[in-house]
Amino acid sequence: MTGTWLITGARPLGGDPADVLVSGEAVAEIGPGLDAPGSQRLDADGLILLPGLVDLHTHLREPGREDAETVASGTAAAALGGYTTVHAMANTEPVADTAGVVEQVWRLGRQAGRCDVQPVGAVTAGLEGSRLAELGAMADSAARVRVFSDDGQCVHDAVLMRRALEYVRAFGGVIAQHAQEPRLTSGAQVNEGEISGRLGLAGWPAVAEEAIVARDCLLAAHVGSALHVCHVSTSGSVEIIRWAKAKGWQVTAEVTPHHLLLTEALAGGYDPVFKVNPPLRTAEDVQALRAGLADGTIDCVATDHAPHPLEDKETEWQAAAFGMTGLETALRVVHEALVQPGLLDWAGVADRMSARPAAIGRLSGHGRVAPGEPASLVLYDPSPREAVDPASHASKSRNTPFAGMVLPGRVVATFLRGRPTVLDGKLAW
């Protein structure tokens, strides 16, 4: 379906309306009143045109938990959410800690074809936190891994973390840390505070995140390496990262859509759809995360899309799995949480959801809408306000915390290198 597309009347990065001519895999021309006889036309009057979104943090569950998600279903969900690249986290079964597994995931993504899949390699063998995985082999593989993470587990051993940070410098890699001091969070279920005390659930204190963030910033500075902090969830972490950046250290960070919109109060009914790691925090944390994303302290939005089958959520709270789906709602949530309050404009959204995550992932060909650039694009209608309907989602799982919540906007079309993956809000093929 590649060929020539003329997208008319869209507003690139929310600016003045223009026509965009897509030819082959690239954007050929942007300007008013373009004409391209024989091209397919897409009337995009009033739609926002953004670069295709890049997710640094996706759980595709394949191999191992194909009942929750597959590369095919997860990339379909990604396309429907406006994504053209997702980074597939390493905590699969088997763990993505060898060149063989990361190449398999990468190939599955190529076969699915709706969204690029960039595997994340495990930092430690088996995510066990005791010895480094073969990071160089994964970097040199066909998957060209540059982001390494034990996400789900914290690389809590300070020596191992230091070595990992140092080692990946040889191939321009980055360590993405799941910041969670394990001893302070043994059995932890919800943010430690008023809610945990009232509900009688073991608390997950903010300090357990902040202590690791602070330590790792200092380690990254000491060895001159790049640190990326996954799913920042507390105001204290934002302050520490702001301080580290002011020092000029190579520290980047992400925040999830759910931490930008939801608070710990949702745990009050013990419905595990709101159980996530790190946990939902306070309203003050939500405000600090929004401000941090707006001022660039937090570089990007990453979904931490974590699909789970129904039976892993239809349980008592403490028996339930951690995690929420997010690919199909992320842009709408960012619209609600940042654009509508005036904290971020659409150029800012393009930066935080496409250009910066691509830069952190060491990927080229993302984040810009310009002639000559790959035509990986998303068209977004900002005007509707509709309730989130999990039944409409392409993800195999339904554990969205936004079910029934009225959110603005709708992804109308997604293009991956000139080829539409989504048209009229539905999968194009």
Would you please indicate which residues are annotated as catalytic (active-site) residues? 304
Binding another protein (rule: CB under 8 A), the pick from 38, 200, 342, 372 is 200
Quick one: which segment of 163-171, 199-207, 329-337, 345-353 binds another protein (CB under 8 A)?
199-207
What residue type is 197 in one-letter code?
Answer: G
Residue 236 found at the interface with another protein (CB under 8 A): no
Binding another protein (rule: CB under 8 A), the pick from 16, 35, 37, 316 is 316
Quick one: which segment of 227-235, 267-275, 344-352, 387-395 binds another protein (CB under 8 A)?
267-275
Residue 318 found at the interface with another protein (CB under 8 A): yes
Q: Report how far residue 128's alpha carbon sits from residue 125's, in angstroms, rounded to the nearest whole number.
A: 6
Residues 6+ apart with CB under 8 A from 419: 1, 2, 25
Tokens read off for 154: 């914290």
Which of 247, 189, 185 minimizes the C-alpha distance to 211? 185
Which of 407, 415, 371, 412 minimizes the C-alpha distance to 389? 407
What residue type is 367 in one-letter code?
Answer: G
Site for another protein in 178-197 (CB under 8 A): 192-194, 196-197
Site for another protein in 8-27 (CB under 8 A): none
Q: Report how far residue 305's alpha carbon sits from residue 326's, in angstroms, rounded to the nearest whole number.
A: 5
Min dist. Cβ of residue 286 to another protein (A): 18
State the Cα torsion 13-18-21-25 to the nearest 10°.
Answer: 0
What residue type is 377 in one-letter code?
Answer: L
Residue 322 found at the interface with another protein (CB under 8 A): no
Distances (CA, A) of 243 to 106, 170, 213, 299: 36, 26, 11, 14
Min dist. Cβ of residue 291 to another protein (A): 24
Residue 311 found at the interface with another protein (CB under 8 A): yes
Per-position x/- string for 283-302, each x denoting binding to another protein as judged by CB under 8 A, each - no binding: --------------------
Which of 208, 189, 210 minimizes the C-alpha distance to 199? 189
Name the DSSP letter for residue 280.
P
Binding another protein (rule: CB under 8 A), the pick from 13, 34, 125, 199 is 199
Tell me the CB-side half-sphere exposure of residue 86, using CA atoms within 13 A: 37
Is the CB of 51 or the CB of 272 nearer to another protein? Answer: 272
Residue 201 found at the interface with another protein (CB under 8 A): yes
Residue 93 found at the interface with another protein (CB under 8 A): no
Min dist. Cβ of residue 322 to another protein (A): 13
**Residues of this chain that bind another protein (CB under 8 A):** 192-194, 196-203, 205, 269-271, 311-312, 314-319
